[in-house]
Structure 1
Amino acid sequence: MLRRFLKAAAAACCAAMVAEPALAQGDLLVAPTRLVLPGGGGGEVVVSNTGDRTTTYRISLVLRRMDRTGQIKPVDEQAATPAEAAALEILNYAPRKVTLAPQQAQTVRIGVRAPPTLAPGEYRAHLLFRAVPDAVAPPAPGTAPAADGMSIALTPIYGVAIPVIVRIGEVAGEARIVSAERSAVDGQSGVTVTIARTGARSAYGSIDLMAAGQAKPVVTVKGIAAYAEVEERSLFVPVPPEKLAGAKGALSARFVENDAAARGGAPSEVPVR
């Protein structure tokens, strides 16, 4: 039942967004993972309780910024740029809190109310879904009271945030891969890739590591974003040693944009050094 509900909701929203896999944390599942909306448009997100207990989730709009390593960091509203403040103003959503029984899902609707005076450009906020802890949480298995009869239990609060991007007017932008180097992180072999982005539009796509003479990628990483606040983003692509050893010929790295606004753009590719 839950699976059918998620598929139906994704189909209904596909005109307004790029379909992406769901994000999950704890017993919280959110789909899709990204919304791109026009100035007068709207979309839907499905929040699901995949656990075995009834849970309440609070929904809010928050600000996040990306750094060149791809880390997403919280931003206080007091430190918001004019574009970030505008994103909070023009986005509306409902409901703001849902209580879901086990294996139950609900749709959250998002709308855009952009004033005619709003300058063309890209505006982004993040929709945060966070589980509300029980007033009296059950003790963790094996928790024993202290000598004075009291015990302390830490209850994790799960949350998932997805970007909601609003584009007003024609928003130009381009992203291309500029370098790829063999590297290792914590003993894991792989390739460090750098993507350069220009213009006012954020970029979104996938990276393929290709071996000369082979049509099938050695490795593919999907869901790579470079938001408008970064001009360059670097990321490490893990590659199992056996795949590197089995790749005959020279390796290259290719970035393909999946954003609808980039349709017609050619993939960019560089050799792996």
Structure 2
Amino acid sequence: MYATMLMKRLTLRVQQRYEIIFATAFTLSFLLLHTVIVHAQGNLMIYPKRVVFDGSKRTQDLGLANTGADTATYQVSFVQVRMKEDGSFENIEQPDSGQSFASANLRIFPRTVTIAPKESQAVKLQAINTGSLPPGEYRSHVYFRAVPAPLPAGETPMRPKDTSNLEVKLVPVFGVTIPVIIRVGADSTLVVISDMDLDFKDPKQPQVMFALNRSGNMSAYGDLTIDYISPSGQRTRAAAVKGVAVYTPLLKRKVRIDLDNTAKLNYHQGRLEVSYETASGKPATLAKQEMFLR
């Protein structure tokens, strides 16, 4: 899941009071949390944080809750994104080689939702016409874009006293997205952990670095745990991150995680073990790797 901020309008006022409005491209960033809270005219919570259609599953209700103090309105649409090696995202219009969009085979309704404070509403997501799709994975993202609240009755926008000066007005509009995936056929995905190393640039906050290498026809998704194993064999949890994805067609995702710096663990002796396990149902190991410390 990710939060987005669209700098909605740049308004240039000249002496003749003509207005030129430029729409800027929005920037996407993802929050990998159990639930997503975004400040956008109130707080929006969405569950589930991702949707996968496979097998006979054809519909999914998305629960939206407004935990803020103001009524909020959201427009619902689909966007397409690319995952980069560092785990960040950028919006795209055309799929990369090896990537397929799901939006042509998805339906969502309603397309506009208004939620009162402390209230909730369901949005229905449906997979359609998937019987003829070739085997593989199809992914798009549902985008909930906050609609700016109108000015109160009788209130007018502020105008500059000197209309010969340039005025730049930025109106931030917030939103949140969740991935929606359609899977067809058998999953041949494999993950290997490589390039493990430690970073002691900040002696007060050591970090472990490694790469998740994905192969096969579908994305990988799971939880990461890092255990410290002392020379005597005692195991201590040093870090954990939930909901880590490697989306197609990305083959290698670089990961950097802060290690526990409160347990007085000696990261210059013993071992570190990184485990990548499925995040739903009965846990299954996707990949595991150890590193001897020195």
Within the alignment, does 1:200 sit opposite 2:220 as a pair?
Answer: no
Partner of 1:113: 128
Deviations 1:188-240 (A, max 9, x none): 43111211111011111122121113344111111111012111111110124
Assess if the C-alpha contact under 8 Å between 2:275 and 2:287 holds in 1. yes
C-alpha separation in 1, matches of 2:283 and 2:35: 23
Structure in which a larger fraction of residues adopt helix: 1
C-alpha separation in 2, matches of 1:104 and 1:38: 31
Q: Is the deviation greater in 36-45 or in 174-183?
A: 36-45
Partner of 1:21: 34
Partner of 2:270: 250
Alpha-carbon deviation of 1:64?
0.8
C-alpha separation in 2, matches of 1:251 and 1:148: 67
Partner of 1:73: 90
C-alpha separation in 2, matches of 1:168 and 1:44: 21
Within the alignment, does 1:224 sit opposite 2:224 as a pair?
Answer: no
C-alpha separation in 1, matches of 2:72 and 2:202: 37
C-alpha separation in 2, matches of 1:194 and 1:85: 24
| Alignment CA distance shift 1:209-1:235 (3 Å) | same
RMSD of aligned alpha carbons: 3.2
C-alpha separation in 2, matches of 1:240 and 1:262: 27
C-alpha separation in 2, matches of 1:159 and 1:186: 34
Alpha-carbon deviation of 1:243?
4.0
Assess if the C-alpha contact under 8 Å between 1:39 and 1:112 holds in 2. no
C-alpha separation in 2, matches of 1:259 and 1:114: 28
Instruction: List runs of 5+ in structure 1 lacking aligned partners.
Output: 1-19, 139-143
Assess if the C-alpha contact under 8 Å between 2:99 and 2:249 holds in 1. no
Partner of 2:11: none
Give the structure-1-normalised TM-score.
0.78
Q: Is the deviation greater in 235-244 or in 104-113?
A: 235-244
Aligned residues: 248
The residue type equivalent to 2:71 in the other structure is T
Deviations 1:150-195 (A, max 9, x none): 9986443111111111101212201132232111577843111211
Alpha-carbon deviation of 1:118?
1.2
C-alpha separation in 2, matches of 1:250 and 1:160: 42
Alpha-carbon deviation of 1:39?
5.7
Within the alignment, does 1:182 sit opposite 2:198 as a pair?
Answer: yes
The residue type equivalent to 1:207 in the other structure is L
Partner of 2:176: 160
Deviations 1:39-90 (A, max 9, x none): 65221211221211111001111101101111111112xx235876651110
Q: Percent identity?
A: 28
Partner of 2:146: 131
C-alpha separation in 2, matches of 1:108 and 1:153: 33
Give 3-state SS (helix, strand or coil) of 2:151's partner: coil
The residue type equivalent to 2:109 in the other structure is A
C-alpha separation in 2, matches of 1:231 and 1:222: 20
C-alpha separation in 1, matches of 2:147 and 2:200: 39
The residue type equivalent to 2:211 in the other structure is T
Instruction: List runs of 5+ in structure 2 lacking aligned partners.
Output: 1-32
Give 3-state SS (helix, strand or coil) of 2:118's partner: coil
